[in-house]
Structure 1
Amino acid sequence: MKNSLENVQSRRDRIVEITKKTDSIAVKALADQLGVSEITVRRDLKALNDMGQVNWHHGVVEKVDAESTQGNSLRSKIEQLKDSIAAAVPSYISDNSTLFVNSSSLCWRAINQLAVKPLTIITNNIRATECVRHPETSIILTGGEVRYPKESLVGTVTIQLLETMQSDYTLIGCDGISVENGVTTQNIYETQVNSTMIQRTKKKVICVADYRKIGVSSNYHVVDLSAVDVLITDSFANESVIHEFRRRGIEVVQVAN
């Protein structure tokens, strides 16, 4: 099963690469180039078109230009995916819990979704104060140095505060999560903040990430994969990687697209 999933993902990656190198290509020519049937290619193209990674119409495949209408459509689809992932978070958080929340945009969306529960939320995301919340919810900012443009709080003050606390849960977004390198981020300043949150968690670490982050390794290591209890992602995520995550004991939740 794993090899089959890897083959599907590899083929779809090749399709995206091929379309990036040409203005357009016919489905038949693409099938010939890949050495598979047109039916197989059409199945791949359906998934890639739904993801917004290619533009497939009338038997022709085109690359997606970031500045085009298709590019805008892709951004809209990703925003919808993030909303769906965020909406799944409350099911994994108990009422009256304390949780650490990092500064990712997906976690910010999740804070809004958590307005249905009374909670204590401790976060380094300044924008959390703009979120809707349950009347019995407290939002505590960690303090620290403000890093723009993300408006996250980082540095020694942030870490010192977190080290005086424990949470029931940590909700963390990332720039990559993979078997080889675990949870990673592009921002060196947030690495220790994120890892401290996870180390100070009593119950579950919940990672939220859309399909673009699954199987990806970014610049700076936060924690090994073994530190993650639950991963909430979407059904576009690389199935081979998801299979391996599950094999390693992570509860993977894939929301409908």
Structure 2
Amino acid sequence: MKNSIVNVQERRNKILSNLNANDTTTVKKLAEELAVSEITIRRDLKVLSEMGKVDWHHGVVTSNGIELDQGNSLRERIEQLKDSIAAAVPSYIEDNSTLFVNSSSLCWRAINQLAVEPLTIITNNIRATECVRHPQTSIILTGGEIRYPKESLVGTVTIQLLETMQSDYTLIGCDGINIENGVTTQNIYETQVNSTMIQRTKRKVICVADYRKIGVSSNYHVANLSAVDILITDNFANESVIRDFRHRGITVIQVSK
């Protein structure tokens, strides 16, 4: 069964629900109950144990009593991972470059981190005007229709402006990235904006995504995987998927908290 953000999350929720009901189980039992391989269960348990949700030793799994969908510690962990991913971005962008930045929340964090160098940033994220920036940095909003609640600029005006420009780099967040479907998003209105940014990039496309987006596919196609030069993610990302990305020639950077 193909992975998606939804079914991976649902499977991990079921693992935790099982543990909340039974306190202790085994990898073999979980695999049988969820109709997946033991390798898949071990992959899920690796993530859940690193997040402090379960204890897992010698095939025996016990709960730490925190449900995946309500634990503040999980949300805090993801926020910390996003900050770490954003902090890695400046190392891959040269001073005085021009870059397109899409409206993802992770890219918004990265704009703040890019305050260490002078740049020209062209973005459809209205909130970019709130960011910390270098004194010599220019931030240009694309214009277009404002889509709430995300406050992103989309539509014909946005695309027409982008088509008059070229960037050295594009920094793009996504809702999924995998071998089969490449870069994908849940927002149909942003699909063509993101695609145009990537198409108008002269040097490198940098994708930023936490582990929840790696190896999964969302609703709308943005670009083939071959369009991505650098992927910045975290150490929780699916190892086999990361290996496949590297075999495809993508430079993959993995950060920790």
TM-score of the superposed pair, with normalisation by structure 1: 0.85
What is the rounded CA distance, in whole Å, between the counterparts of 2:248 and 2:56 in structure 1? 39
User: Aligned-pair distance for 1:48?
Assistant: 1.5
Amino acid at match of 1:247: H
Instruction: List gaps (5 residues or longer) in structure 2.
Output: 1-8, 32-40
Structure 1 residues 13, 156: closer, same or farther in 2, change over 3 A? closer
What is the SS of the residue equivalent to 1:232?
strand
The residue number in structure 1 matching 2:234 is 234
Amino acid at match of 2:133: R
Instruction: List gaps (5 residues or longer) in structure 1.
Output: 1-11, 36-40
The within-5 A match list for 1:91-106 is: 91-106=91-106
User: Aligned-pair distance for 1:180?
Assistant: 0.5
The within-5 A match list for 1:39-58 is: 45=45, 47-51=47-51, 54-56=53-55
What is the SS of the residue equivalent to 1:23?
helix
Structure 1 residues 213, 65: closer, same or farther in 2, change over 3 A? closer
User: Aligned-pair distance for 1:64?
Assistant: 1.4
Amino acid at match of 1:88: A
User: Aligned-pair distance for 1:14?
Assistant: 6.4
What is the rounded CA distance, in whole Å, between the counterparts of 2:15 and 2:44 in structure 1? 13
Q: Is residue 22–residue 63 contact of structure 1 (8 Å, CA) maintained in 2?
A: no
The residue number in structure 1 matching 2:62 is 60
What is the rounded CA distance, in whole Å, between the counterparts of 1:14 and 1:30 in structure 2? 15
The residue number in structure 2 matching 1:129 is 129
Q: Is residue 178–residue 241 contact of structure 1 (8 Å, CA) maintained in 2?
A: yes
Structure 1 residues 144, 14: closer, same or farther in 2, change over 3 A? closer
What is the rounded CA distance, in whole Å, between the counterparts of 1:17 and 1:150 in structure 2? 30
TM-score of the superposed pair, with normalisation by structure 2: 0.85
The within-5 A match list for 1:74-223 is: 74-223=74-223
**Cα-to-partner distance string for 1:17-54 (whole Å, 9 max, x where unaligned):** 33334524444x3145258xxxxx999746423235x3
The residue number in structure 2 matching 1:18 is 15
Q: Is residue 211–residue 236 contact of structure 2 (8 Å, CA) maintained in 1?
A: yes
Amino acid at match of 2:230: V
What is the rounded CA distance, in whole Å, between the counterparts of 2:93 and 2:246 in structure 1? 20
What is the rounded CA distance, in whole Å, between the counterparts of 2:109 and 2:207 in structure 1? 13
Q: Is residue 229–residue 251 contact of structure 2 (8 Å, CA) maintained in 1?
A: yes
What is the rounded CA distance, in whole Å, between the counterparts of 1:105 and 1:222 in structure 2? 17
Amino acid at match of 1:104: S
What is the rounded CA distance, in whole Å, between the counterparts of 2:216 and 2:45 in structure 1? 22
What is the SS of the residue equivalent to 2:26?
helix
What is the rounded CA distance, in whole Å, between the counterparts of 1:19 and 1:138 in structure 2? 47
What is the rounded CA distance, in whole Å, between the counterparts of 1:65 and 1:231 in structure 2? 26
Amino acid at match of 2:207: C
The residue number in structure 2 matching 1:30 is 26
What is the rounded CA distance, in whole Å, between the counterparts of 2:10 and 2:218 in structure 1? 19
* RMSD of aligned Cα (Å): 2.7
Q: Is residue 20–residue 63 contact of structure 1 (8 Å, CA) maintained in 2?
A: no
What is the rounded CA distance, in whole Å, between the counterparts of 1:109 and 1:72 in structure 2? 20
User: Aligned-pair distance for 1:60?
Assistant: 2.5
What is the SS of the residue equivalent to 2:233?
strand
Q: Is residue 204–residue 229 contact of structure 2 (8 Å, CA) maintained in 1?
A: yes
The alignment of Structure 1 onto Structure 2 pairs a total of residues equal to 239
